Amino acid sequence: MDSKKLVIVILIVIAVVFVIFAGYGSLTVYQPKRTNARESKKDAKVAPTPGWAKSIDSAFSGWQESVQLRCGPPPDQNSKRRCDDLGTGPIVVPSAKEPWLPLMKKTEFRTLKLVLLEGQRVHINYLDKKGGKNIDNPQFFDLPDLDNNNSLKGSIAVMENGGTLTISCLDNVPCRVGQE
Amino acid sequence: MLDELRRPFFVIALVIILVVVLIEVGSPYMMHAADTSFDRPGYGIQYLVFIDAFLFYVSLLIGLALIIPERVQGRVQGCVTLILSFFGCLGIFVAIIFALIFIIILISLLFAPIFGTAAYLAIYGGFDRSGANVTLGLLMTLKIAFCVVLIAAHQRFLQSKSLVLLTLSSLLATLIVSFLINFVPGILASITDALGAIVVAILALIWAIVFMVGAVISIIKAIH
């Protein structure tokens, strides 16, 4: 085949494939509208985390900038957690580290994963210094989380300037909360 | 068979690929041209500029050969290409790191119920797929027009392997970004868009290295 004709055929094929992609994306796939934090929280509750998702999360979590909190006794060397006892009361959540590349901003979001290790019920409250971006401020939940299949774990979205985390044991029963 | 270059067609091709680059970098003038605005949500579309800038550069070199004497161009081209490709490599590498960090943040937010997931859904869950498709559609149309006009300018451009392969890479990169944005559930589009940006950047990095090696070889030949 003449090279000119071959190029025209290739271009037509590329154009057709592109139209199929764009058409499929625009017409057939459900696309949720931009939601506010309250609606998103409901969506997050109804979506259980599948096993493969946990594997991806654990693979990437080591790469993410962690939230360094004041920790009571340091965790055992064998512990997979960052901290085994955060204590109770207000805890200062520091701001994100300064970026190591020029033109780079501070990490906008960090996730703080908490787990109830001892006790019956605990209330977690986090007040971000800056807030905004459609995220609840303060963010609060109880552990075990009745809205999340009685999960003993819960996460907070921490913005770049940090904030204050408050852990309160409920029902007058001592509790211990760790950080993953 | 055409024997002579049709300059008007070639100039049109140059202008088209320049417009493509300007749209991708988000030129304020291009984004609001003729009372229409083109959205460039995400990273994928912006990162296409790494490949298309090389395509523009190669086309420009061909164009300059018509104006500047061959002897002068031969001396300058190697050095300029070496400098551009070196800084291109650095820029693309940094851009890959940016996109990688962004993906890590997105994934860690998505899989951190309840407030992490809620934050992800509220901020990144509604990727503007329609806006991206409009922009990608425009870019694809311009790139195909570039190919057609370039062939109309001179059929022998088809014999230039680097130009043909670079043009194909550009079209392929646009297809990859389009595929990754459109073939996943809407809430994951922000993640796959960033993934597409990384793929495109790696493709551009390969081209930058190829140009750099070619430039070094041509400089060594020129010295000897």
Residue B181: inside a domain: yes
Give yes or no for B61 touching A (CB within 8 A): no
Residue B150: inside a domain: yes
Residue B2: inside a domain: no
Which residues 82-141 of chain B have a CB within 8 Å of chain A? 94, 97-98, 101, 103-105, 107-123, 125-127, 129-130, 133, 136-137, 140
Peptide bond connecting A144 to the previous residue in cis, omega within 30 degrees of 0 = yes
- Both tokens assigned to B23: 């749209």
| Rounded distance between C-alpha atoms, residue A130 and residue A110, angstroms | 14
Q: What is the pLDDT of residue B51?
A: 96
- Tell me, what amino acid is at A66? S
A34 vs A111, higher pLDDT: A111
Residue B1: inside a domain: no
What residue numbers bound the domain in which A27 lies? 1-31
Domain count, chain A: 2
Closest of B11, B14, B22, B15 to residue B135, by C-alpha: B22
Backbone angles phi, psi at A155, to 5 degrees: -125, 155
What residue numbers bound the domain in which B141 lies? 7-223
Q: Which chain A residues are closer than 8 Å to B160 by Cβ?
A: none
Domain shared by A21 and A47, yes or no:
no
Domain shared by A80 and A138, yes or no:
yes
Q: How many CB atoms lie within 10 A of CB B182?
A: 25
Q: How many CB atoms lie within 10 A of CB B187?
A: 21
Domain count, chain B: 1
Residue B178: inside a domain: yes
Q: What is the pLDDT of residue A119?
A: 87
- Residue A165 three-state SS: strand
Q: What is the pLDDT of residue B1?
A: 42
Domain shared by A92 and A162, yes or no:
yes
Q: What is the pLDDT of residue B165?
A: 93
B53 CB-contact burial (10 Å; exposed 0-12 / middle 13-18 / buried 19+): buried
pLDDT in tens, A81-125: 888 888 888 899 888 888 777 777 778 888 888 999 988 899 999
Which residues 131-160 of chain B have a CB within 8 Å of chain A? 133, 136-137, 140, 144, 147-148, 151, 155, 158
Positions of chain B with pLDDT under 70: 1-3, 27-40
Residue B218: inside a domain: yes
∠ Cα B177 A54 B95 (to 5°): 35
| Rounded distance between C-alpha atoms, residue B21 and residue B50, angstroms | 9
Q: The tokens 């003449």 sit on which residue? A: A2
Q: The tokens 């259980």 sit on which residue? A: A48
pLDDT in tens, B36-87: 555 567 899 999 999 999 999 999 988 888 888 877 777 788 899 999 999 9
| Rounded distance between C-alpha atoms, residue B42 and residue B47, angstroms | 10
Report the 3 state secondary structure along B14-77. Answer: HHHHHHHHHHHHCCHHHHCHHHCCCCCCCCHHHHCHHHHHHHHHHHHHHHHHHHCCHHHHHHHH
Contact between chains at A18 and B137 (C-beta distance less than 8 A): yes
Is the pTM above the cut of 0.95?
no
Provide the ipTM: 0.80
Domain shared by A44 and A23, yes or no:
no
